[in-house]
Amino acid sequence: MKIGIFTDCYYPQVNGVVTSVLMLEEELIKLGHEVIIVTVKVPNHIDDKDNIFRINSIPFSRWKEFRLGVPIFSEPFKQLKNMKFDVIHTHTEFSIGLLGKYMAKSLDIPALHTYHTMYEDYSHYVFNHKYGKNLIKKAIIRGSKLYVKQYDGIIAPTDKTKNALRRYGVGNNIFVVPTGINLRQFSKFNSNHPELIKLRKKYALSNDDKIILSLGRVSEEKSIQNIINQMPELIKEEPYVKLLIVGDGPYKNKLQKLCTKLNLNDHVIFTGQVPFDCVSYYYSLADVFVSASKTETQGLTIMEAMATGIPVVVYDDLNVKDVVIDGVSGRLFIKDTELTKSLINCFENEYKTKKLSKKATEIIANLSKESYAKKAEHVYYEILYNIHEFHKLKA
């Protein structure tokens, strides 16, 4: 098959969509398919692969790391039409996603879309007022329904996303295909590994420190502030606890001010964004991984932490159903006070915590990147078969 993957998010950007696309691309090629990535041009970036087709772009004003494609000339359209795709798979709802929809219709080939992001959870970026946010949410729901209407199939990373789309009124075929992870990339390093020793020195961490890790985009909807607000109570029980916040984003300054207000500057460390190939060292450095986010469609960082073999304490949401099982493969919480109790329990009950981590690695073994690509491939074939049968009936 010749597969066109259309996405506004791609390397050198770093986020969950990029990770998902890179893994899918790699594994589909291993399965023998030809994959063309259609994405935005990034200033001063040169690709080291020849299957990338980049469209002229401009920065998106509010988030400079995101860019919007501007396919204003006819030449890109001609080039893409001549590529003779069998199927088009879009991963974003913006400029390049729209281009993918247009190309599929123009070429009369099937199109699928992966719904990575629950945009209703991000309405505060548009209008941060109670009534205004409700109006924006309604508009987002309606817009999402209209956007996916013409697709031959929708891929949802979890049942949570599928259920939300059904609630929106989406009637398309929806296939649940969890994004996999590169299991080999997230093996746990020993505490005396040179890179871990460097990190402890860099962040002034002693061997007695208990390290809680939060890793990912630093934005309001990730609810990192809830973790910080619980730190004073946690410190009463565990005086040597440190919260390591790895990542960057628009909410970082507010969180730093909150730490100053709560007198936590000696207990909370902001590392900023780190290279993706160094992330596994940060997981290995931690004693426990925590996520208080209520907006995850899947939660890849949770899965990565579990694959590394560190215990996870996460908000109890449908996106982690059957992956994080409370008291079996991790700890779940709803109230912030439950978060504190779960963290203390992880620190104080070493034997139980090791059992949680062991079970977690067993569960995550079923969510490899290889499995992800094979499931996506199955969806492509099913859509192609259904369309072929439909045309036979029409004939």
Residues 158 and 173 both lie in one domain: yes
**Domain with 291 in it:** 183-364
Is 21 in contact with 364 (CB distance < 8 Å)?
no
Residues 173 and 249 in one domain: no
Q: Is the pTM of this model over 0.75?
A: yes
**Environment class of residue 171 by beta-carbon count within 10 Å: exposed (0-12), middle (13-18) or buried (19+)?**
exposed
Distance CA 140, CA 39 (A): 24
318 and 245 in a common domain: yes
Residue in the structure block whose two tokens are 């994405």? 39
On whether the CB atoms of residues 144 and 119 are closer than 8 A, the answer is yes
Q: Is 56 exposed, middle or buried (0-12, 13-18, 19+ CB in 10 A)?
A: middle
The percent of residues above 90 in pLDDT, for the chain, comes to 69
Indicate the number of domains in the chain.
2
- Return the half-sphere exposure (C-beta side, CA atoms, 13 A cut-off) of residue 135: 7
The pLDDT of residue 275 is: 87
- Please check whether residues 349 and 388 belong to one and the same domain: no
Confidence label for 299 from pLDDT (cuts 50, 70 and 90): confident
Same domain, yes or no: 193 and 309: yes
Residue pLDDT, tens place only, 312-331: 999 999 889 889 999 999 99
Tell me the mean pLDDT in the region 352-377.
93
pLDDT reported for residue 6: 97
In the predicted structure, residue 289 carries a pLDDT above the cut 90? yes
**Given the structure tokens 């779940």, which residue do they identify?**
332
Q: What pLDDT is attached to residue 120?
A: 61
pLDDT at residue 62 in the model: 56
Contacts of 192 (CB under 8 A, 6+ apart): none
pLDDT at 25 over 60: yes
Kindly tell me if the per-residue pLDDT of 65 is higher than 80: no
pLDDT greater at residue 136 or residue 355 = 355
**37 shares its domain with 126:** yes
pLDDT at position 390? 58
Whether 138 and 229 share a structural domain: no
Q: Are 96 and 55 in contact (CB under 8 A)?
A: yes
339 and 382 in one domain? no
93 & 8 share domain: yes
Query: Is there a single domain that holds both residue 154 and residue 234?
Result: no
What's the pLDDT tens digit per position in 99-129?
Answer: 999 999 999 999 999 998 776 655 444 455 5
CATH code at 152?
3.40.50.2000
Give the sign of the dihedral formed by CA 7, CA 11, CA 15, CA 18.
positive
Does one domain contain both 84 and 151? Answer: yes
Closest CA to 342 of 368, 313, 369, 362: 313
For residue 12, say if its preceding peptide bond is cis, omega within 30 degrees of 0: yes
State pLDDT tens for residues 167-192: 999 999 999 999 888 888 898 999 99
Given a cut of 80, is residue 388 above it in pLDDT?
no
- 138 & 205 share domain: no
